[in-house]
Structure formats: C-alpha cells, structure tokens
C-alpha cells in the first residue's frame, strides 16, 4: 500500500505543492517555471473543456474509438463484487442522477447534529481562515414540523419475542414489514448519543456545502494522524486480517472522497471570491495514488451494499415533512434508487459482507473494530472547523449506519435483532452515498484527462532537461 492520504484540507500551501506535481520533480530556473506554468494552464484547459462540450456516453469512453482516454482502472474492485466499468456506468446513468435530486428534498436536506462539543482527546485549538467554515443553523420554523415530534416506534422488546430458547426464535432480520415508525436507538458503531436531543440543532445541508474552508495547520493534520495511526493503523499486508483491511480501506476511501470535494469546490481567488475546480489538488491528493482511488470505489460499493440490503425497510419508511408533493417525490425516488432494474442486474451484490467475521475470533474482532470506529467518530468532535465538523460527523454517522446494517443486523450471525434506524441515520446514509457518488463521478470524468496532461508534462520536462 502507498502512504495513507494526507489531510484533505491543507489550505493554499497544499494547492501550491499540488500545482508543482506533488514535489516529485524539482524544476529550477526559467525552464522549470515555464513547465510548471504550462502544467497549470493545461489542467485549466481540461476543466474548461469539460464544461464546453456535451457529455459522452459511458459506452463510447475509453479506448474503444482509438481516443487517448484508455481506462486506468479495470476489472473487479478489490474485495468487492463489481468491476470499475460497471460502477462508473451505473453511477453515471442511474445512481448519481437520482441521488443528486433526492438530497435536495426536505427529508434529506435537514440534518440534526451536535455542533458544539468538547474534544475528548485534546484542547480544541483549530482555527478556520474563512467565513465559509461556519455553519448556518436552521431557525425553528424552517425544518419540517414532523422532525420535532417525538419518536413513536416500538421498543426492541416489543418487536422480539422474549420467551423460549434462542434457537426457537424466528429470524426477523430485515423483514419487509419491520418498519413501525422512526425509533430512538443509539448506534453501537458511533460515539455520539443520537438519542440525546438537548444539544442538537438542525442544519440545512444545501446551505452548508462540503467545500474548501481554509482549515489548515497542525489541528487539521492531527485529526487525520489520530484517525490513521491510533485507530486505523496500516499494518504490513501479511499481518492485516481481512476485517482490519476493510476498516482501513473504508476510512481511506472516505478521506479520498473528502479530498475530491475540496478540490471540486475550491476558493481559487479569495479577493474576488471565485470558486471552481482545483485540478492540481485533485491530482496531488487523490489521482497520484492509485490505492486512494481504489479505496474510494471500495467505500462506495460498501455503502451501496448497505443501502440495497436495507431496501425493503427503507422503502416502507415514512418520509413525512408535511409537504405532500415533495414527500411523494421522495418516496418515488427512493423506490427508483432501491429497486432499479439496471442496478439489480449489473451489480446485484456490490459487497459480500458474509465473508467477514468467519474465524473463531470473529466476535472479539468485531468488538475491537467497533471500538476503533467509535474512537474515529469521537475524533470528529476535535475538528476545529465547524463546517468540517458538520460533514465529518454526517459522513462518519453514515458509514457507521452502513456498518450497523451490515454487521449489527445479520441473520447469519443469529443476532435475532430486527433492523431499527433513526431518521438521522437514514439522512446521513443517503447523503454519504451521494457524496461518494459525486466523488466517483468526478474522478471518472477528470482522471483520464488530468493524467494525460501529467504524461505530456513529464515528457516536456525530460526534453527541457536534455536541452
């Protein structure tokens, strides 16, 4: 494995180093400056051209027509059950359009979060340079009225028969009729107590996009250092069990996705407030390291598997915001997302969770990894940027919800525990899937063109050196 991803948001210094090709080639003198300038101009041209020409269908991309866009990533995504070509095609044609519309609707637009938290590990000394780091909270009259009502779901005791021997209990895992209303139940994979409403506030995610915030310095680096070194260490491949490897890849893939979104919506000119794509940053942080791209696809398929496994439950859920027209639209899009025939035929099992926890140490290993992930979720309280904390908490909760669906509710392990999700968990899960879908789409669109520019730039640099 290549080194773990560097902190995603590292400000202008990161952009400068990325623009120089990540520091792999040191160009000196006028020739070096000219080459670096040409590289930036070429990447800018890639960004402009991608917006100036109509989209090309997935069937005509790649090397089929003799074009230079030969695919770099082909074959099966490691440890998954779908190949890169299928993922890109299904994401572009089916998932990405549906998700983009779904997250703008009232039910998925408002997220309940505890923004002001004391860091349990060290004093919070992070600072953001930009006003874009702050979060605009919703007034009480903005978010949907049903969100304010107490949960009415049945308790777990009411849903499981407590009499008789365990082996005689009927397995109700993911029963299509199990949804009885949104419930208050804590997620065993995350640190925050999701049932504690005292310090929670609602945030309109559409008004608080995930983007560059200027969050930089030791505070930002310490977050990712703690995530990787203390809670998700990367052992030599021969020492890493399959479950530990999966946890590392999930965190790395999420980190890559965050980096992609920062590069996608970057403050190019602070004085003029000009935002746009930072393609050098995208290359330096993600595309330069194939493992990070691979882990992005892995995390996307992992979360997609959780969503498809819970499809029957989520299809019957109540998406009520007291806006009948929008709520009907939400229900329609949810069904399109979960039961799309193209998705079911092309990638019926994105990830096979049954192959994990199979050894005699499976239960103990699951507890250990669950503890590590809870620690990772707790670290989100230490993020010194409010907007970064918002999206960190949302996406970690979404990933924790995927873990809960796949591993805490599993008939194969005879847990005898029906699926119960909080409204906030579903909101986080779908928004996370959308974030990953956007990242996969952007990498698929920009990756080949950017890497072609890198090859040309590398060739030009060699010629300049010879001269």
Query: Angle between the 423-466 and 290-309 helix axes, to the nearest 10 degrees?
Result: 160
Structure tokens at 38: 């040409």
State the greatest distance between any 2 C-alpha atoms of the chain, in Å, as a whole number: 85
CA 285, CA 150: separation in Å to the nearest integer?
43
Neighbour-count burial of 14, counting CB atoms closer than 10 A to its CB (0-12 exposed, 13-18 middle, 19+ buried): buried
**What distances in angstroms separate CA 190 from CA 351, 368, 398, 450, one per listed residue?**
22, 13, 10, 37
Tell me the whole-structure pTM to 2 decimals: 0.76
Q: 146: which residues sit within 8 A by CB, 6+ positions away?
A: 320, 321, 322
CA nearest to 333, candidates 92, 103, 85, 15: 103
Cβ neighbours of 286 (radius 10 Å): 27
pLDDT one digit per residue (tens) for the chain, 467 residues: 444 454 444 333 333 333 333 334 333 444 444 545 555 555 555 554 444 333 333 333 443 333 444 678 999 999 999 999 999 999 999 999 999 999 999 999 989 888 876 787 777 554 554 445 555 554 665 656 665 555 444 344 433 333 333 333 333 344 433 454 566 777 888 886 655 666 778 888 988 889 888 887 777 888 888 888 877 766 556 667 888 899 999 999 999 999 999 999 999 998 999 999 999 999 999 999 999 999 999 999 999 999 999 998 899 889 988 889 999 999 999 999 989 999 999 999 999 998 888 877 888 888 889 999 999 998 988 888 888 889 999 999 999 999 999 987 543 443 446 788 889 999 999 999 999 999 999 999 998 888 888 777 766 654 555 44
Q: Which helix (H) or strand (E) holds 268?
A: strand 266-269
Dihedrals φ, ψ of 112, to 5°? -90, 125
**What distances in angstroms separate CA 19 from CA 23, 214, 258, 377, 451, one per listed residue?**
9, 17, 19, 32, 13
CB 152 within 8 A of CB 416: no
CA 411, CA 347: separation in Å to the nearest integer?
22
Query: What would the 3-class secondary structure string for 249-267 be?
Result: HHHHHHHHHHHHHHHHCEE
Q: Rounding to the nearest 10 degrees, give the CA dihedral for residues 381, 246, 442, 7.
A: 40
CA angle (101 as vertex; 98, 102 as ends), nearest 5: 80
Cβ neighbours of 265 (radius 10 Å): 16
């Amino acid at each position: 494995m290549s080194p773990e991803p560097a902190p995603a948001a590292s400000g202008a210094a990161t952009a400068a180093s990325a623009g120089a090709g990540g520091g792999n080639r040191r160009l000196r003198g006028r020739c070096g400056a000219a080459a670096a300038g040409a590289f930036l101009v070429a990447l800018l041209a890639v960004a402009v051209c991608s917006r100036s020409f109509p989209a090309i269908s997935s069937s005509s991309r790649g090397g089929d027509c003799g074009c230079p866009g030969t695919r770099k990533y082909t074959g099966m995504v490691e440890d998954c059950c779908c190949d890169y070509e299928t993922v890109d095609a299904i994401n572009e044609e089916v998932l990405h359009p549906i998700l983009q519309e779904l997250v703008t609707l009232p039910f998925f637009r408002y997220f309940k979060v505890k923004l002001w938290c004391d860091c349990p590990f060290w004093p919070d000394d992070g600072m953001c340079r930009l006003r874009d780091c702050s979060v605009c909270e919703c007034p009480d009259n903005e978010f949907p009225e049903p969100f304010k009502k107490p949960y009415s779901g049945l308790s777990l005791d009411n849903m499981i028969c407590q009499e008789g021997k365990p082996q005689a209990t009927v397995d109700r895992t993911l029963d299509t009729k199990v949804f009885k209303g949104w419930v208050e139940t804590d997620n065993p994979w995350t640190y925050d107590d999701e049932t504690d409403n005292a310090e929670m506030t609602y945030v309109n995610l559409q008004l608080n996009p995930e983007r560059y915030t200027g969050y930089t310095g030791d505070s930002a680096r310490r977050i990712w250092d703690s995530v990787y070194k203390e809670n998700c260490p990367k052992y030599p491949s021969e020492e890493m069990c399959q479950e530990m490897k999966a946890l590392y890849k999930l965190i790395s893939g999420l980190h890559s996705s965050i980096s992609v979104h920062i590069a996608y919506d970057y403050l190019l000119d602070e004085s003029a407030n000009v935002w746009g794509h930072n393609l050098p940053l995208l290359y330096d942080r993600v595309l330069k390291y194939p493992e990070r791209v691979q882990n992005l696809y892995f995390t996307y398929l992992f979360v997609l598997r959780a969503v498809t496994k819970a499809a029957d439950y989520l299809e019957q859920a109540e998406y009520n915001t007291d806006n009948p027209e929008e709520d009907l639209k939400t229900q329609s899009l949810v069904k399109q997302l979960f039961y799309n025939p193209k998705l079911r035929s092309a990638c019926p099992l994105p990830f096979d969770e049954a192959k994990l926890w199979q050894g005699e140490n499976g239960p103990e290993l699951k507890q250990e990894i669950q503890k590590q992930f809870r620690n990772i979720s707790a670290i989100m309280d230490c993020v010194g940027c409010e907007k970064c904390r918002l999206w960190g908490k949302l996406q970690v909760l979404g990933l924790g919800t995927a873990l809960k669906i796949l591993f805490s509710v599993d008939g194969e392990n005879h847990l005898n525990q029906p699926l119960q999700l909080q409204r906030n968990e579903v909101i986080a899960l779908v928004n996370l899937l959308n974030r990953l879908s956007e990242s996969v789409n952007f990498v698929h669109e920009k990756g080949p063109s950017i890497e072609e520019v890198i090859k040309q730039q590398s060739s030009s640099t060699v010629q300049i050196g010879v001269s």
